[in-house]
Structure 1
Amino acid sequence: MSETPADPPATKPPSSIAAAAFVSSFDRFAVSPLLVLIATDLGASLTQSLAVASLYYLAYGLSQPVWGVLSDRFGRVRLMRLTLVAAAIAGLASALAPGLITLIIARAFAGAFYGAIVPTSLTYVGDTVAEKHRQPALADLMAAIAIGTALATAASGLIADWLDWRIVFAVPAVLAVVCCFGLNGLREIRSDGGGGMLRTLWSAISHRWVLLVAGLAFVEGAAVLGVLTLMAPALQAQGVGAGPAGLATAAYGLGVIVTSRMIRFLSARLTMPRLMALGGSTTVIGYAVVAVHVSIPTIFIAAALLGATWSFLHSSLQTWSTSVLPEARGTVVSLFAGCLFGGSALGAAAGGAIGAAAQWTVLFASTAAVMLVLTVVTVLSRRAYERRSG
């Protein structure tokens, strides 16, 4: 890595990195309370408007291997600055889109460019923070991301109700430009791997533990992020307005903020498999609750429990991804994120089809079952990895 030798060891992510991750998270999660309003305003069905979210996630996911290789080759900070500017342009295009097709295309470009921010920030933490401090540092970064999530889901519905849904896309575009300037002066880090971009990519995709962790991330993305996107529409299908629906699902961000503060304490006392089991169990319970009855209180409870899953299960998978192949860390983390958001695109699309048929109980109950299987497989896999590594 190219970094300043005299720098003291880091234990937290830089504030400018956390701010950029916050903006990316805000843009990603703001759309959920808007889907019904977009469909109404642009003369589309809910299924059609869901493409605004699902194609965003798909572009976010598919772009990851490219960003990972480029960050290893040309530097983390340089990549983040360039993609923040491009994402801002796509965000403004989203706010000005005259029709649904234009909006879908603009959001897909926004997803592709914002897709560089969070995985690159995670890689930056992996590069600069020692492994014994890494999970708490990643939890700190996730707290910033969670604040973006909570504000996005809470504020976007209110802004759309009181003003216009287009303003919601313009806000993170402006903030992205501000963050670009905030990254000035941050020390650059890039991989020293001299084997070339293709060799780095091949070393990642041919590594069985990398493939396993990426596969687990894909299922997690579908079951957690994909179905989370449909919680606000599930409430709106019961006659709840966009504002209250957004506030209820904002409990996800609040759940991440609260439980991420526990990571430093718990990671020192629980093995990673046990932390994974705790995190997976909370989502199983959350989806089971909302499968019984969809209402503001049950969505609030389920969303908060998903936040705990993100802190305990996802942060563990994320930490695993930063250490499984250190010589290609940027590429591995980006593959991990790509699978996560590729899964979320599939989850949003498949779940949206089930929701459009008013089968919300089927959606949430089946997702609880998927999460139960995922939790068991993840815990057993991590234990096997630790035995082999030890």
Structure 2
Amino acid sequence: MTCAETTLPATTAKSEIGRKATLLMVATLTIMAGTTISPSLPAIETTFANVEGVKLLSRMVLTLPALFVAFCAPLIGGLADRYGRLRLLIGSILLYGFSGISGLFVESLPALLVGRAALGIAIGGVMTLTTALVGDYFSGSERERYLGLQQAFTGIGGVAFVAAGGILADYHWRAPFAIYAVALAIIPAAIAFLTEPARPAPNGQATVSLSEHAVRWLPVAALCTLAFLVNMIFYFIPSQLPFYLRAVGIGAASSAGFALGLHNLVMAGSALAYGRLRARLSVPVIFVIGLCLMTLGFVLVAFATTMPSVLFAMAIAGAGLGLTIPNLMSGIIALASPTSRGRLAGMVTASMFIGHFTSPFASQPLIEAIGYQETYLAAALGLAALAIVCAVIALNGKVRA
């Protein structure tokens, strides 16, 4: 039941290429969801300066979708396990496109936030269902290679989308919202190339392997906790970097876009190596490597005062994230059976996006109390602590082996 060949109909080489290409295009929607409009945040704050609490609310334009991902992803995952993946995915992509472009038209900050909330529901569906489909379609080393390729493609897409967002934000803060229309162009490919995986029969097959349906909740909880903490800390960068650059005298909106674009480019290169790295190293060891790189990147951000130093810091942090995210997805897929894949994918997706949403609530008070530099150093300390915990787990695993 765990091999893709036993759960899916035979496919031709052409349709297999189409399936992979479509999944890769869908994967870019997750990176486009947030950082594309990050360069617009200062202008949004200025536009709605008369709104009470605008400093926090303007940052929530970036992070509010994450709250609705957290609410909806586990529910969508449960529905997918019970009723199937494909129709839910198509509906999620449609909602993504229409809610994303709403920022072009709405006239108030509350209306803008409503559109972002709807976008969060869509993201929860897209990310949860894509992760479940990867587990359905691929297995073993092929899955590890694909997860690295998916993260790489996401990063490359992020370079284009984030840089375009920065350039468009220089023109007008609303302009980057037009990029979300790309989602609507993916729907024909999804209909043409993605197939509904066969689900286990409700009767007769249930006693074949009861252990396959048992969930190992302790490692699932550990992965979800790590997903939450890593993403909460990471989002100190896209939610605060445009303001930090302005504070150190780098004021163009495109500067933040290019910095985040370079981050995604290096993340892509790092993710391409994930499959080969995973063939040699355990999940905890790869977490140690990724988290150490992210720690160094945040330390460098704290001391960056020129554009070249910012770009270098973004590159180091991106290399770490490029290993950490596919490692999270690989870990959760490995723990799931075909009948629990949607639920567990929804749980780790929710954990990641709860981290996104809570990030401004952690970073903004710190910045106001101790400043940008000290906040990024505190974030680096948190990442270092997570790396130490993963190192202990890796060493204990070697001892037991």
For normalisation by structure 1, the TM-score amounts to 0.89
Which of 313, 316, 325 is equivalent to 2:324?
Answer: 313
Q: Which moved more, 1:286-295 or 1:268-277?
A: 268-277
Which of 259, 278, 284 is equivalent to 1:273?
Answer: 284
- Listed as ranges, the gaps of 5+ residues in structure 1 are 196-201
Equivalent in the alignment of 1:354: 366
Corresponding position: 1:264 with 2:275: yes
Q: Which moved more, 1:257-266 or 1:274-283?
A: 257-266
For normalisation by structure 2, the TM-score amounts to 0.86
Q: What amino acid maps onto 2:281 in structure 1?
A: L
Task: Give distance in 1, aligned partners of 2:201 and 2:44.
Answer: 46
SS at match of 1:97: coil
Change in Cα spacing, 1:54 to 1:183, as seen in structure 2 (3 Å) is: same
Which of 293, 307, 315 is equivalent to 1:304?
Answer: 315
User: 1:357: how far off?
Assistant: 5.5
How far does the alpha carbon of each residue in 1:97-145 deviate from its partner, in whole angstroms, 9 at most, with x for none? 1011111111111122122212321221111111222221101111121
User: 1:25: how far off?
Assistant: 2.0
User: 1:371: how far off?
Assistant: 0.3
Which of 15, 19, 31 is equivalent to 2:25?
Answer: 19
SS at match of 1:220: helix
* Runs of 4 or more above 4 Å deviation: 8-13, 382-388
Corresponding position: 1:169 with 2:177: yes
Q: What amino acid maps onto 1:187 in structure 2?
A: T
SS at match of 1:188: coil
User: 1:285: how far off?
Assistant: 0.6
Which of 200, 206, 230 is equivalent to 1:220?
Answer: 230
Equivalent in the alignment of 1:150: 159
Equivalent in the alignment of 1:244: 255
Q: What amino acid maps onto 2:188 in structure 1?
A: F
SS at match of 2:309: helix
**Which of structures 1 and 2 has the bigger CA Rg?**
2
User: 1:93: how far off?
Assistant: 2.2
Aligned residues: CA RMSD: 2.7
Q: Which moved more, 1:317-326 or 1:259-268?
A: 259-268
Q: What amino acid maps onto 1:19 in structure 2?
A: M
Contact 2:104 2:175 in 1 (8 A): yes
Task: Give distance in 2, aligned partners of 1:87 and 1:190.
Answer: 26
Equivalent in the alignment of 2:10: 6
Which of 43, 46, 51 is equivalent to 1:37?
Answer: 43
User: 1:272: how far off?
Assistant: 3.1
Task: Give distance in 2, aligned partners of 1:330 and 1:298.
Answer: 41
Task: Give distance in 2, aligned partners of 1:11 and 1:384.
Answer: 41
Task: Give distance in 1, aligned partners of 2:266 and 2:358.
Answer: 24
Q: Which moved more, 1:330-339 or 1:243-252?
A: 243-252
How far does the alpha carbon of each residue in 1:159-199 deviate from its partner, in whole angstroms, 9 at most, with x for none? 0112x222211221x2111111210132112643859xxxx
SS at match of 1:279: helix
User: 1:355: how far off?
Assistant: 3.2
Which of 229, 244, 262 is equivalent to 1:234?
Answer: 244
User: 1:332: how far off?
Assistant: 0.6
Equivalent in the alignment of 2:99: 90
Task: Give distance in 2, aligned partners of 1:208 and 1:114.
Answer: 26
Q: Which moved more, 1:253-262 or 1:146-155?
A: 146-155
How far does the alpha carbon of each residue in 1:237-285 deviate from its partner, in whole angstroms, 9 at most, with x for none? 3332111121122121111111122223323333333322211110111
Q: What amino acid maps onto 2:107 in structure 1?
A: P
Contact 2:141 2:279 in 1 (8 A): no
Equivalent in the alignment of 1:188: 196
Equivalent in the alignment of 1:113: 122
SS at match of 1:165: coil
Task: Give distance in 2, aligned partners of 1:346 and 1:294.
Answer: 27
Equivalent in the alignment of 1:371: 383
User: 1:220: how far off?
Assistant: 0.9
Contact 1:156 1:168 in 2 (8 A): yes
Task: Give distance in 2, aligned partners of 1:264 and 1:11.
Answer: 19
Contact 2:288 2:388 in 1 (8 A): yes
Task: Give distance in 2, aligned partners of 1:193 and 1:318.
Answer: 26
Contact 2:304 2:313 in 1 (8 A): no
State how many pairs are aligned.
Answer: 381
User: 1:358: how far off?
Assistant: 7.0
Task: Give distance in 1, aligned partners of 2:144 and 2:395.
Answer: 18
Task: Give distance in 2, aligned partners of 1:279 and 1:27.
Answer: 23
Task: Give distance in 2, aligned partners of 1:213 and 1:125.
Answer: 18
Change in Cα spacing, 1:364 to 1:87, as seen in structure 2 (3 Å) is: same
User: 1:338: how far off?
Assistant: 0.6
Q: What amino acid maps onto 1:68 in structure 2?
A: G
Task: Give distance in 2, aligned partners of 1:34 and 1:26.
Answer: 14
User: 1:49: how far off?
Assistant: 0.5
